[in-house]
Amino acid sequence: MLRFTMGPLQNTVLPVLRQPMIRISVCLLIGGGSLISAAFAQDSGGQGLGLMAGNSEGPIEIDAAGSIEWDRNRKVYEAKGDAHAKRGQVEISSELLSAYYRESAEGGSEIWQIEAEGGVLIESENEKASGDNAIYNVDKGIMVMRGRDLWLTTATDRLTATDSMEYWEREKYAVARGNAFARRADRKISADVLKAIFIEDTKGDLVIEKVEAYGDVCIESQKTVARGAQGVYFASRGKAILDHNVRVQQGPNKLTGARAEVDLNTGISKVLPGRSAPPSTSGRKDRVIVVIDPRSQATAPDQGTVSPAVGSKVRPCG
């Protein structure tokens, strides 16, 4: 294995490093001690999914089975063939890793964008993310992954999508677009778009605190399925609020209205009327509709509140 340690970039060209049948490794320190940074970085706290997270003084080691090139004209490093970039407990791997740099105001050089193509996998101690390709803008702290099978997992949560997955490192939230799906234990949320807002737990690991859902929203627990045009789920409290053409199903019992407040811990739902509520059988609008199966054990007190039906089945999200 070949290994290099580099200081500030100079006006020279690093020759293409090629060595068949062995891996090539480069340990990079770029411009005045600033480091190459890759996806899903964090400013502080736990390690997270980012090569900027954790120990800010350590170098990043890049290795590849094919070659590592420094193209001064294009101002880019390229690691090709089963390429890996590692710093501390965080590692990003793909078939091609490209790090673009520019001259900094201090006279050195700085990385401004990282691109990964082909089987992208980002791993830390308790978080992972995967996609076909990824672009990380260092200036904005935004990572965008695209591909057919996008996913991000933490110690407790899983977030998936089919179009794109964004991670905003400074704000600590992810946006999943296209058949978006989030899951924690038996709690599931699906929508056209999901925005998952993270906090750090007592161990410094990322966990989802709140999910905002847009378009064909469905929230599910073991006994309750609630649907609407948009909604918000508060993960720590196990409660959800849905708006616009809301339908709540608990076994054979169904409620419809304009707005719903759902407690997934107790299984108690409250549906409220509004202009978007569908007309009842009498043709009157702005009313809550409850359809109760007399064979179930559910009851329907005032205010549109329904308790779960014991042993009943509900149609799942998706």
Q: What is the CATH number of the domain that holds 80?
A: 2.60.450
Number of domains in the chain: 2
Burial of 170: CB neighbours in 10 Å, binned 0-12, 13-18, 19+: exposed
Is residue 113 located within the same domain as residue 214? Answer: no
Cα separation, 237 vs 228, in Å, equals 20
- Which range of residues forms the domain containing residue 34? 1-138
Same-domain status, 212 and 234 = yes
Q: Please tell me whether residues 163 and 29 are part of one structural domain.
A: no
Q: Do 208 and 302 sit in the same domain of this protein?
A: yes
Based on the fold, state whether residues 101 and 205 are members of the same structural domain: no
User: Quick one: 300 and 225 in the same domain?
Assistant: yes
Q: Are residues 126 and 157 in the same domain?
A: no
pLDDT score, position 23: 46
Q: Are residues 45 and 171 in the same domain?
A: no
In this structure, the answer to whether residues 204 and 317 fall within a common structural domain is yes
User: Residue 312 sits in a domain of what CATH number?
Assistant: 2.60.450.10
- Reading the chain (318 residues) residue by residue, the pLDDT tens digits are 333 333 333 333 344 444 433 444 555 543 333 323 333 333 334 445 544 444 444 566 888 998 889 898 999 989 999 998 887 777 889 999 998 888 887 777 788 888 999 999 988 877 889 999 999 887 888 889 999 889 999 888 999 999 999 988 888 899 999 999 999 988 999 999 999 999 888 887 788 999 999 999 999 988 889 999 999 999 989 999 999 888 888 878 888 888 888 888 888 888 887 654 455 555 555 665 555 445 555 444 444 444 444 344 555 676
Same domain (yes/no): 107, 185 = no
